[in-house]
Amino acid sequence: MNVSNGGVDLLPGERLLDLEYADDIVLLCDNAQGMQSALNQLAISVRRYGMCFAPSKCKVLLQDWQDSNPVLTLDGEQIEVVEKFVYLGSCISAGGGVSDEINARIVKARAAYANLGHLWRLRDVSLAVRGRIYNASMRAVLLYGCETWPLRVEDVRRLSVFDHRCLRRIADIQWQHHVSNAKVRHRVFGHRDDNSIGVTILKHRLRWLGHVLRMSSQRIPRRALFADSGTGWKKRRGGQCMTWCRGMKESCKGLASVGPS
Protein backbone atom coordinates (compact mmCIF):
# COMPACT_ATOMS: atom_id res chain seq x y z
CA MET A 1 0.00 0.00 0.00
CA ASN A 2 1.35 3.40 -0.97
CA VAL A 3 -0.05 6.69 0.32
CA SER A 4 1.95 9.79 -0.58
CA ASN A 5 1.30 11.71 2.64
CA GLY A 6 1.03 8.73 5.00
CA GLY A 7 3.43 6.95 7.29
CA VAL A 8 6.00 8.12 9.82
CA ASP A 9 9.70 8.89 9.38
CA LEU A 10 12.10 6.12 10.33
CA LEU A 11 15.21 7.42 8.60
CA PRO A 12 15.71 10.41 6.30
CA GLY A 13 13.83 9.68 3.08
CA GLU A 14 12.18 6.52 4.45
CA ARG A 15 8.65 6.29 5.80
CA LEU A 16 6.82 3.42 7.47
CA LEU A 17 3.09 3.25 6.76
CA ASP A 18 1.84 -0.10 7.99
CA LEU A 19 2.69 -3.20 10.03
CA GLU A 20 0.98 -6.54 9.50
CA TYR A 21 0.90 -9.67 11.62
CA ALA A 22 -1.62 -12.42 10.74
CA ASP A 23 -4.98 -10.60 10.53
CA ASP A 24 -3.86 -7.55 12.57
CA ILE A 25 -2.89 -4.36 10.73
CA VAL A 26 -1.44 -1.16 12.19
CA LEU A 27 -1.46 2.05 10.15
CA LEU A 28 0.99 4.79 11.14
CA CYS A 29 0.57 8.42 10.12
CA ASP A 30 1.63 11.79 11.48
CA ASN A 31 -1.38 13.66 10.09
CA ALA A 32 -5.12 13.00 9.97
CA GLN A 33 -5.41 13.46 6.21
CA GLY A 34 -2.80 10.82 5.51
CA MET A 35 -4.46 8.40 7.92
CA GLN A 36 -7.87 8.83 6.29
CA SER A 37 -6.34 8.26 2.85
CA ALA A 38 -4.64 5.11 4.11
CA LEU A 39 -7.90 3.82 5.61
CA ASN A 40 -9.78 4.43 2.36
CA GLN A 41 -7.14 2.69 0.27
CA LEU A 42 -6.93 -0.24 2.69
CA ALA A 43 -10.71 -0.73 2.61
CA ILE A 44 -10.64 -0.79 -1.20
CA SER A 45 -7.73 -3.24 -1.25
CA VAL A 46 -9.31 -5.85 1.04
CA ARG A 47 -12.58 -5.83 -0.91
CA ARG A 48 -10.72 -7.19 -3.92
CA TYR A 49 -10.20 -10.38 -1.92
CA GLY A 50 -13.77 -10.61 -0.65
CA MET A 51 -12.95 -9.29 2.82
CA CYS A 52 -14.04 -6.31 4.88
CA PHE A 53 -13.21 -4.59 8.15
CA ALA A 54 -15.39 -4.31 11.24
CA PRO A 55 -15.13 -0.61 12.19
CA SER A 56 -16.20 -1.43 15.76
CA LYS A 57 -12.99 -3.47 16.18
CA CYS A 58 -10.75 -0.70 14.82
CA LYS A 59 -9.30 1.91 17.16
CA VAL A 60 -7.41 5.19 16.87
CA LEU A 61 -4.54 5.89 19.28
CA LEU A 62 -3.00 9.37 19.35
CA GLN A 63 0.56 9.94 20.55
CA ASP A 64 2.07 13.42 20.98
CA TRP A 65 -1.01 14.85 19.30
CA GLN A 66 -1.49 18.58 19.92
CA ASP A 67 -4.68 19.26 17.94
CA SER A 68 -8.23 18.19 18.70
CA ASN A 69 -9.13 14.55 18.14
CA PRO A 70 -9.48 13.85 14.41
CA VAL A 71 -12.63 12.27 13.01
CA LEU A 72 -11.59 9.17 11.05
CA THR A 73 -14.08 6.90 9.30
CA LEU A 74 -14.00 3.43 7.81
CA ASP A 75 -16.77 2.47 5.39
CA GLY A 76 -18.71 5.51 6.56
CA GLU A 77 -18.54 4.62 10.27
CA GLN A 78 -16.50 6.70 12.71
CA ILE A 79 -13.60 4.95 14.43
CA GLU A 80 -13.34 5.26 18.20
CA VAL A 81 -10.41 7.20 19.69
CA VAL A 82 -8.97 5.40 22.73
CA GLU A 83 -6.25 6.01 25.32
CA LYS A 84 -5.04 2.40 25.20
CA PHE A 85 -5.75 -0.89 23.48
CA VAL A 86 -4.40 -4.43 23.33
CA TYR A 87 -2.29 -5.34 20.31
CA LEU A 88 -0.69 -8.79 19.96
CA GLY A 89 -1.25 -9.46 23.65
CA SER A 90 0.30 -6.23 24.92
CA CYS A 91 -1.42 -3.06 26.12
CA ILE A 92 -0.35 -0.03 24.08
CA SER A 93 -0.88 3.33 25.83
CA ALA A 94 -1.12 6.81 24.35
CA GLY A 95 1.63 8.15 26.60
CA GLY A 96 4.09 5.44 25.58
CA GLY A 97 4.51 4.14 29.14
CA VAL A 98 3.98 0.59 30.36
CA SER A 99 2.03 1.13 33.59
CA ASP A 100 -1.18 -0.18 32.03
CA GLU A 101 0.67 -3.12 30.51
CA ILE A 102 2.24 -4.03 33.86
CA ASN A 103 -1.18 -3.87 35.52
CA ALA A 104 -2.49 -6.29 32.90
CA ARG A 105 0.55 -8.58 33.28
CA ILE A 106 0.10 -8.78 37.06
CA VAL A 107 -3.61 -9.57 36.69
CA LYS A 108 -2.87 -12.37 34.20
CA ALA A 109 0.00 -13.75 36.28
CA ARG A 110 -2.21 -13.73 39.39
CA ALA A 111 -4.83 -15.75 37.49
CA ALA A 112 -2.16 -18.21 36.33
CA TYR A 113 -0.92 -18.55 39.91
CA ALA A 114 -4.45 -19.28 41.14
CA ASN A 115 -4.96 -21.92 38.44
CA LEU A 116 -1.89 -23.76 39.74
CA GLY A 117 -2.86 -23.34 43.38
CA HIS A 118 -3.27 -27.09 43.91
CA LEU A 119 0.31 -27.64 42.72
CA TRP A 120 1.84 -25.11 45.11
CA ARG A 121 0.19 -26.93 48.03
CA LEU A 122 1.50 -30.39 47.12
CA ARG A 123 4.27 -31.23 49.60
CA ASP A 124 5.27 -34.37 47.70
CA VAL A 125 6.43 -32.08 44.86
CA SER A 126 9.84 -30.71 45.77
CA LEU A 127 10.40 -26.99 46.13
CA ALA A 128 12.96 -27.12 43.31
CA VAL A 129 10.39 -28.59 40.91
CA ARG A 130 7.81 -26.02 41.95
CA GLY A 131 10.41 -23.31 41.36
CA ARG A 132 11.07 -24.52 37.83
CA ILE A 133 7.33 -24.66 37.12
CA TYR A 134 6.93 -21.14 38.50
CA ASN A 135 9.77 -19.85 36.35
CA ALA A 136 8.40 -21.49 33.20
CA SER A 137 4.74 -20.59 33.68
CA MET A 138 4.27 -17.66 36.03
CA ARG A 139 7.25 -15.53 35.04
CA ALA A 140 6.58 -16.22 31.36
CA VAL A 141 3.16 -14.62 31.79
CA LEU A 142 4.38 -11.81 34.05
CA LEU A 143 7.25 -10.77 31.76
CA TYR A 144 5.64 -11.30 28.36
CA GLY A 145 6.97 -8.61 26.02
CA CYS A 146 9.34 -7.14 28.62
CA GLU A 147 12.11 -6.94 26.00
CA THR A 148 10.62 -3.71 24.65
CA TRP A 149 9.34 -2.09 27.85
CA PRO A 150 10.62 1.45 28.68
CA LEU A 151 10.77 0.64 32.38
CA ARG A 152 10.91 3.04 35.29
CA VAL A 153 12.23 2.12 38.74
CA GLU A 154 8.65 2.08 40.05
CA ASP A 155 7.61 -0.40 37.34
CA VAL A 156 10.37 -2.84 38.30
CA ARG A 157 9.47 -2.45 41.97
CA ARG A 158 5.83 -3.39 41.36
CA LEU A 159 6.81 -6.48 39.39
CA SER A 160 9.33 -7.46 42.06
CA VAL A 161 6.79 -7.09 44.89
CA PHE A 162 4.34 -9.39 43.12
CA ASP A 163 7.08 -11.90 42.24
CA HIS A 164 8.42 -12.14 45.79
CA ARG A 165 4.92 -12.44 47.25
CA CYS A 166 4.29 -15.49 45.06
CA LEU A 167 7.68 -17.03 45.86
CA ARG A 168 7.13 -16.66 49.60
CA ARG A 169 3.78 -18.40 49.35
CA ILE A 170 5.30 -21.25 47.35
CA ALA A 171 8.12 -21.67 49.89
CA ASP A 172 5.72 -21.11 52.84
CA ILE A 173 7.88 -18.27 54.16
CA GLN A 174 6.05 -15.59 56.08
CA TRP A 175 7.17 -11.99 56.46
CA GLN A 176 7.65 -12.47 60.20
CA HIS A 177 10.28 -15.13 59.49
CA HIS A 178 12.65 -12.29 58.53
CA VAL A 179 14.05 -14.05 55.45
CA SER A 180 15.47 -11.74 52.79
CA ASN A 181 14.14 -11.78 49.25
CA ALA A 182 17.51 -12.99 47.96
CA LYS A 183 17.36 -16.04 50.27
CA VAL A 184 13.77 -16.72 49.24
CA ARG A 185 14.81 -16.80 45.57
CA HIS A 186 17.75 -19.06 46.41
CA ARG A 187 15.52 -21.53 48.27
CA VAL A 188 12.97 -21.70 45.44
CA PHE A 189 15.26 -21.66 42.41
CA GLY A 190 18.20 -23.45 44.01
CA HIS A 191 21.12 -21.53 42.49
CA ARG A 192 23.12 -18.52 43.56
CA ASP A 193 22.92 -16.44 40.38
CA ASP A 194 20.97 -13.21 40.76
CA ASN A 195 17.62 -14.15 39.24
CA SER A 196 15.63 -11.21 40.53
CA ILE A 197 12.96 -9.68 38.32
CA GLY A 198 15.17 -6.71 37.45
CA VAL A 199 18.09 -8.90 36.36
CA THR A 200 15.80 -11.29 34.48
CA ILE A 201 14.26 -8.40 32.53
CA LEU A 202 17.73 -7.03 31.74
CA LYS A 203 18.80 -10.42 30.34
CA HIS A 204 15.70 -10.52 28.13
CA ARG A 205 16.36 -6.99 26.88
CA LEU A 206 20.04 -7.65 26.18
CA ARG A 207 19.11 -10.80 24.28
CA TRP A 208 16.62 -8.82 22.20
CA LEU A 209 19.14 -6.01 21.62
CA GLY A 210 21.71 -8.48 20.34
CA HIS A 211 19.09 -10.07 18.09
CA VAL A 212 18.20 -6.68 16.57
CA LEU A 213 21.82 -5.61 16.12
CA ARG A 214 22.53 -8.79 14.16
CA MET A 215 19.72 -7.97 11.71
CA SER A 216 20.44 -6.40 8.34
CA SER A 217 20.17 -2.63 8.12
CA GLN A 218 16.96 -2.96 6.06
CA ARG A 219 14.95 -4.76 8.74
CA ILE A 220 12.22 -2.65 10.35
CA PRO A 221 13.18 -3.37 14.01
CA ARG A 222 16.76 -2.22 13.41
CA ARG A 223 15.66 0.84 11.47
CA ALA A 224 13.19 1.75 14.21
CA LEU A 225 15.84 1.35 16.92
CA PHE A 226 18.12 3.89 15.25
CA ALA A 227 15.40 6.26 14.01
CA ASP A 228 15.73 9.90 15.02
CA SER A 229 13.01 12.10 16.48
CA GLY A 230 12.25 13.81 13.17
CA THR A 231 12.52 17.42 12.12
CA GLY A 232 10.82 20.02 14.26
CA TRP A 233 10.60 17.79 17.34
CA LYS A 234 11.40 19.43 20.67
CA LYS A 235 11.68 18.09 24.18
CA ARG A 236 8.87 18.85 26.55
CA ARG A 237 9.50 21.00 29.57
CA GLY A 238 10.30 19.24 32.82
CA GLY A 239 11.31 15.64 33.29
CA GLN A 240 11.38 13.44 30.21
CA CYS A 241 9.54 10.16 29.87
CA MET A 242 11.66 7.04 30.07
CA THR A 243 12.55 5.59 26.67
CA TRP A 244 13.80 2.12 25.83
CA CYS A 245 17.20 3.34 24.61
CA ARG A 246 17.75 5.53 27.65
CA GLY A 247 16.76 2.72 29.98
CA MET A 248 19.17 0.32 28.26
CA LYS A 249 22.04 2.80 28.50
CA GLU A 250 21.46 3.22 32.23
CA SER A 251 21.13 -0.55 32.76
CA CYS A 252 24.34 -1.31 30.87
CA LYS A 253 26.55 1.18 32.72
CA GLY A 254 27.65 -1.35 35.32
CA LEU A 255 27.98 -4.40 33.06
CA ALA A 256 31.57 -3.87 31.93
CA SER A 257 34.46 -1.44 32.04
CA VAL A 258 37.08 -0.70 29.42
CA GLY A 259 40.65 0.26 30.22
CA PRO A 260 42.90 -0.27 33.21
CA SER A 261 41.22 -0.95 36.52
Q: Is the pLDDT of residue 111 over 60?
A: yes
Q: Is the pLDDT of residue 226 over 70?
A: yes
What's the CA gap between 228 and 239, in Å, rounded? Answer: 20
* Tens-digit pLDDT profile for residues 139-187: 999 999 999 999 999 999 999 999 999 999 999 998 888 999 999 999 9
Report domain extents, the chain. 8-82, 97-204
pLDDT band at 203 (very low <50, low <70, confident <90, very high): very high
Query: In this structure, which amino acid lies at residue 9?
Result: D
Q: State the chain's mean pLDDT as an integer.
A: 86
Host H or E run for residue 252: helix 244-252
Percent of the chain beyond pLDDT 90? 46
Q: What angle do CA 39, 59, 1 make, to 5 degrees?
A: 25
Q: Is the pLDDT of residue 2 over 80?
A: no
8 Å CB contact between 247 and 151: yes
Q: Kindly state the average pLDDT of the residues 84-106.
A: 91
Q: What angle do CA 208, 209, 210 make, to 5 degrees?
A: 90
Query: Which conformational region is residue 97 in: left (phi greater than 0), alpha (psi within -120 to 50 degrees), or beta?
Result: beta
Q: How far is CA 31 from CA 8, 48, 57, 231, in A?
A: 9, 27, 22, 15
Please tell me which residue, 156 or 64, carries the higher pLDDT value: 156
Q: Is the pLDDT of residue 258 over 50?
A: no
Q: What is the pTM of this model?
A: 0.84
8 Å CB contact between 22 and 88: no
What's the CA gap between 140 and 156, in Å, rounded? Answer: 16
CA 143, 181, 174, 151 dihedral sign is: negative
The DSSP secondary-structure symbol of 7 reads: B
pLDDT band at 231 (very low <50, low <70, confident <90, very high): low
Q: Is the pLDDT of residue 138 over 90?
A: yes
What's the CA gap between 202 and 195, in Å, rounded? Answer: 10
What's the CA gap between 36 and 176, in Å, rounded? Answer: 60
Q: Kindly state the average pLDDT of the residues 193-220.
A: 90
pLDDT of the residue at 235: 67
CA atoms within 13 A on the CB side of 182: 4
pLDDT of the residue at 261: 44
Q: Kindly state the average pLDDT of the residues 127-146.
A: 93
Query: In this structure, which amino acid lies at residue 26?
Result: V
What's the CA gap between 8 and 4, in Å, rounded? Answer: 11
